[in-house]
Chain A
């Protein structure tokens, strides 16, 4: 059972609030929360107070923090890399391969970016050289994403868990583009299934055995184990019913953050017994 413990952000004018959009959230190794929305990146402390914020040159669609503290922001046509203080360190620009980056992840020295324009995940090395695509080697030539975003998360073993909402499942890939398997199925009634036309929209993995997903229509956040059994429905009624593509992040304490994309706030949940 999860209960809501905090609300961060919100729609409005203040420094800690968001103006028009809230697109992606992530946590770093020190449980700090990073959120991109409008053309800005905000960093919140573990207790929810705004710690730092800096502008991005284009509206950000994805954010991720590497082990060395570099913050990567995915945008349309480019990926901007900032240091932990907010200074721009590098920009990877590629109109073709970095069409619209809606997810970023890291695996053993490589950088993975999810390109929604091409419906694939791309692997780059740390210097920005493109290596290979992931998820394109199938009949549909990519992920089925009517919602317009590619989302994935890398677990501790280096396996990429990516949502394929058109097929109502989460697929597991190696960084070499090998499909290992998938979990999830369609079901409009059973909460363990994914309902509607294209769910789940976003995914994150934490711990050794936990996959956290969000869905749209009706919006909810759920947690599964790696075998695909539903552990719990984290929350469902607290989100605005018009939400779509709500990003989700989990910190080391097991606290779950979900971004409400209509009310532009980040809701924090804590569970009791499960980790």
Chain B
């Protein structure tokens, strides 16, 4: 064994020190501009189904098909504060379907029947058209296909239903598979507080 520091040992030490310094500097640089926790979220002002100004585009279902989780972590969310509580909701009903004897469209839009419609407030038992209705989307049934989102988009509706990543379901991939496929780059990384806020298509997150 050595009787002191061999040359190789000394060189090694210097090299180690240099590398450590390099690591330290890089790490400090990275940490300085670091974020806290970031998560993936859908930017409603870019998402095809909710972005304003495009009428007549077909529904984009990439959020459903691309997510690595079996039933996509993206779900439709109704921002109740912004909902019109209309008697005939263009996201709930297929307004192009035939009108039944009650004056309501006969078909519903959601292929998984995930939206529930309930009268709220002071309910008029005599005339159903005289009530406000709450439209609640069941998180367990919804798979983020976006059909109702398109139905709610302005000008047809008020744009209160948008697609959002649900973080109790999202596995938080390093690079979201949906973001790879999204034609409008609508999947963005956001700090947790921003990601949880309900946003409208009129509020760009850029």
Contact = CB atoms under 8 A, between A and B. Distances in A.
Interface of A: 139-140, 144, 146, 166-168, 185-189, 193, 195-198, 216-217, 219, 241-244
Contact of A197 (B84, B94, B99, B130): B84
B95 A196 contact: yes
B87 to A, nearest CB: 7
Contact of B84 (A185, A193, A198, A242): A198
Interface stretch (B36-44, B68-76, B152-160): B152-160
Given A139-B122, A167-B129, A217-B156, A197 B55 contact: no
Given A185-B103, A186-B99, A188-B97, A168 B155 contact: no
Interface size class of B (residues with CB under 8 A): 20 to 34
Interface string B115-156: 000000010100001100000000000000000000000111
A198 B27 CA distance: 57
Contacts of B158: 146, 197
A197 B52 contact: no
Contacts of B122: 139
A188 B99 contact: yes
B58 interface: no
A166 B86 contact: yes
Contacts of A241: 55-56, 155
Contacts of B154: 242, 244
Contact of A242 (B52, B89, B98): B52
Nearest to B99: A187
Nearest to B87: A166
Residue with the greatest number of chain B CB neighbours at <10 A, chosen from A185, A197, A242:
A197
B59 interface: no
B53 interface: yes
A262 B53 CA distance: 10
Task: Determine chain A's interface SS by DSSP, over half rule.
Answer: loop
Interface of B: 52-53, 55-56, 84, 86-90, 94-99, 103-105, 122, 124, 129-130, 154-158
Given A189-B98, A196-B156, A168 B56 contact: no
Contacts of A144: 86
A197 B157 contact: yes
27 contacts: A139-B130, A144-B86, A146-B84, A166-B84, A166-B87, A186-B103, A187-B99, A188-B94, A188-B99, A189-B96, A189-B97, A193-B99, A195-B95, A196-B90, A196-B95, A196-B156, A197-B88, A197-B89, A197-B90, A197-B156, A216-B155, A217-B156, A219-B155, A241-B55, A242-B52, A242-B55, A244-B155
A139 B86 contact: no
A21 to B, nearest CB: 15
Contacts of A198: 84, 86
A166 B131 CA distance: 10
Given A188-B99, A217-B90, 15 more contacts: A146-B158, A188-B95, A188-B105, A193-B99, A196-B90, A196-B95, A197-B86, A197-B158, A198-B84, A216-B156, A217-B155, A241-B55, A241-B56, A242-B53, A244-B154
